[in-house]
Chains A and B, each alone.
Chain A
Amino acid sequence: MTPALLTAGPLALDASFWVLQGLNALQLSMLLFLLSVGLTVIFGLMHFVNLAHGSLYAMGAYVAASAAGLMGYWAGVLLAPLAVAAFGVLLYWGLIRRMRRSGPMAQVLVTFGLIFVMLDLTRIVWGDLALAAPMPELLSGRLTILGLEYPIYRLVIIVLGGLIYGGLYWVLSRTQIGAMIRAGVDNDAMASCLGINVEQLFFLVFCVGCALAGLAGAVAAPLLSVTPEMGLSILIPTLIVIVIGGLGSLKGAIAGSLIFGFVQTFGAVLAPQLASVLIYALLAAVLVIKPVGLFPARG
């Protein structure tokens, strides 16, 4: 079920090969979207930079893998977001609320310290060895569409990402709480003057962001091996996504995720030597041309 298995040989450069690559890119994008959306909205609403977001993802993967071993896959997927959100509540009361008024650099440093702490905490609780998470029977097969075989599990991730994007889009643009969040992102001082409890709103958004990070970890666990370093290795792609997309906006998170997923996947096929440099070059280009990203929340 590794990406290498899904890549046909270089000779098979026909339409189905490109469709496969497109699906791979979509799947990577959706996973990144689940992570980046929480981070970007937390930043947009409260200008809080949480570098430990990747560690929350790793924690979700660990909780899911352990719970799956005891109670089955579905319990793991349900439990991971809840556990990570509960941990988020602790973090909020312990650290983040106190760091709200300090500058971004202090926040970067505190959450950088948090990465270290959480890295070793996962090593203490779960050990250094990689954990393998089981894939559910129901989703472990392959689906044949239009003569193309594709693993069901990866399709499910794509659909899940799409559903969550749709749900968040609906909440943010059509509901009252969404309007309040948008008002808070736009101008938090004015929003609180209008009687919106921005602090409470931030707490809510922070918990949802943590839960989404936990969910991302849980769905990624069967695809990757679960290691303490997984949070650190996903952090950089997530940051690239939100900086390309523009901090604070849902549109930016989805656009950034799609750009990253497609550049990474197709770059690896078309220009293997440049693949890893390509995405950083793109990020640098975006920052030079449009220093605030493609779709920033505030003009």
Chain B
Amino acid sequence: MFRHTPFRYATLALLAALAVLYTLNAEYFGLELVAEIAVLAILVLALDMVAGFGGMVSLCHGALMGIGAYAYALLTTAGGLTAPVGMLGAIAITAAFAWVIGAICSRSHGIYFIMATLAMGQMAYSYVFEAPIFGGDDGLSGISRLDLSLIGLDLNDGRSFAFFCLVMLGLAYGFSALVLSSGLGRSLSGVMHSEQRMRALGACVWRVKADMFGVSGGIAGLAGVLAAQHVMFVSPGLLAWTVSGEALVVVILGGLGTLVGPLVGAVAFIMLKHEISDMTSYWHLVVGLILIAVVMSGANGIFGWIESQVERWRPRRAAMTDEEIRKREVLSDA
């Protein structure tokens, strides 16, 4: 079950302070980086909600993000809706898709769940690639950003947009934490520990899984909307399974089932990607090696490792053992 520890609050405060300071002082490229990190962070939050707290390792979250982006693009261009309505509509559409996917896949477990979600994501990818209304390989352009001139902000300015993305990330984080500590989030933890026990207690297991997958999909949809607004262009590449794979890598690098860890992972991943791409064109090699090293070390990602080191110094060890048990169960159930 998710809970905030003082260490987690401290990490969040540190991340927020760094983000604000960096965004205030960054140049054009830095601001692009902030927006990119915020979008990825929202996506991995969504993935961690289902993978880390429900054992549902999804390989369709990239596709869900793509659905959100395309839905926003179509609603605001062809649909003629205003940006705020388009944003809400896109999030609702993605959540609905995710709910259906979650309901269909809820019977599968472990590797079969991974494959089932992969199939769903690839289905969306191929459909978007082929259907004419989505513009095929060329994608869709002419997407506008949210108009916040009422409160004196111009989101076409890089710095304002970066701040806007950070605010959205903050909202998404707060919402995820709220959902995870609600009845739904607690039921999901129960389902991850033992579906049979939850069934005996009267919970409707598939509904719990589908509902949480829907919520997570809505958050992934938000990431998609922001991605579409960021580059003002959508292409089928957003839905490719490798995007979902990368999101999973970020969750693992940061720390599965910690909610804060994936944020750390997103920052580390994007920074690493840009630093390494500057030095060599073989950044996949480095990321692959890091991923192998992290998984084989047995630590729960960067944040998970630091957290366990910090907890070791604390007299009260109850929280840590709880975490340890959960982590082991995620790894063995998935």
**Interface positions of A (Cβ within 8 A of B):** 49, 95, 98-99, 102-106, 108-110, 112-117, 119-121, 123-124, 232, 236, 239-240, 243, 247, 273, 276-277, 280-281, 283-284, 287-288, 291-292
Contact = CB atoms under 8 A, between A and B. Distances in A.
Contacts, number: 116
28 contacts: A49-B111, A95-B292, A104-B110, A108-B111, A109-B248, A109-B249, A109-B295, A112-B248, A113-B249, A113-B295, A116-B287, A117-B285, A117-B289, A119-B285, A239-B115, A243-B115, A243-B119, A276-B127, A276-B129, A276-B130, A280-B126, A283-B115, A284-B116, A284-B119, A284-B123, A287-B105, A288-B104, A288-B107
A105 B288 contact: no
Given A117-B289, A280-B126, A108 B284 contact: no
Interface in B105-134: 105, 107-108, 110-112, 114-116, 118-120, 122-123, 126-127, 129-131
B107 A116 contact: no
A287 B116 contact: yes
Nearest to A287: B116
Nearest to A98: B296
B291 interface: yes
Interface in B127-152: 127, 129-131
A104 B111 contact: yes
Given A110-B296, A287-B105, A120 B285 contact: yes
Given A113-B292, A280-B123, A103 B333 contact: yes
B237 interface: no
Contacts of A123: 282
B16 interface: no
A110 B292 contact: yes
A116 B291 contact: yes
Given A109-B295, A280-B126, A243 B284 contact: no
**Most chain B beta-carbon neighbours within 10 Å: one of A104, A105, A276:** A105
Contacts of B57: 105, 108
A201 to B, nearest CB: 21
Nearest to B241: A236
Contacts of A102: 295, 331
A259 B186 CA distance: 42
A219 to B, nearest CB: 26
B259 to A, nearest CB: 18
B252 interface: yes
B112 A291 contact: yes
Contacts of A273: 130-131
B242 interface: yes
Contact of B334 (A103, A110, A119, A281): A103
Contacts of B112: 243, 287, 291-292
B322 to A, nearest CB: 19
A271 to B, nearest CB: 11
Interface string B297-334: 00000000000000000000000000000000011111
B127 A277 contact: yes
A239 B249 contact: no
> Binding site of A, secondary structure by majority: helix, strand, loop or mixed?
helix
B89 interface: no
A281 B105 CA distance: 13
**Most chain B beta-carbon neighbours within 10 Å: one of A104, A110, A115, A283:** A104
Interface string B210-244: 00000000000000000000000000000001100
B245 interface: yes
Contacts of B129: 276
A246 to B, nearest CB: 10
Contact of B118 (A95, A116, A236, A277): A236
Nearest to A283: B119
B295 A106 contact: yes
A68 to B, nearest CB: 26
A98 B298 CA distance: 11
Given A120-B285, A236-B241, A243-B112, 17 more contacts: A49-B111, A95-B292, A103-B333, A103-B334, A104-B114, A108-B57, A108-B114, A109-B291, A110-B292, A110-B295, A113-B287, A116-B288, A243-B115, A273-B130, A276-B127, A276-B130, A291-B108
Nearest to B285: A120
Contacts of A117: 284-285, 288-289, 292
Contacts of B114: 104, 108
Nearest to B105: A287
Contacts of B107: 288, 291
Contact of A281 (B123, B242, B292, B332): B123
Contacts of A281: 123
A110 B114 CA distance: 15
A226 B214 CA distance: 41
A206 to B, nearest CB: 18
B285 A116 contact: yes
B104 A284 contact: yes
A236 to B, nearest CB: 6
A105 B104 CA distance: 21
A281 B120 CA distance: 8
A298 to B, nearest CB: 14
Given A112-B245, A287-B105, A105 B334 contact: yes
B282 A277 contact: no
Given A98-B296, A236-B118, A287-B108, A112 B331 contact: no
What are the nearest 6 A-B pairs in CB distance? A116-B288, A113-B291, A120-B285, A276-B126, A105-B334, A280-B123
Contacts of B290: 113
A240 B57 CA distance: 17
Nearest to B242: A232
Contact of A114 (B111, B116, B292): B292
B334 A112 contact: no
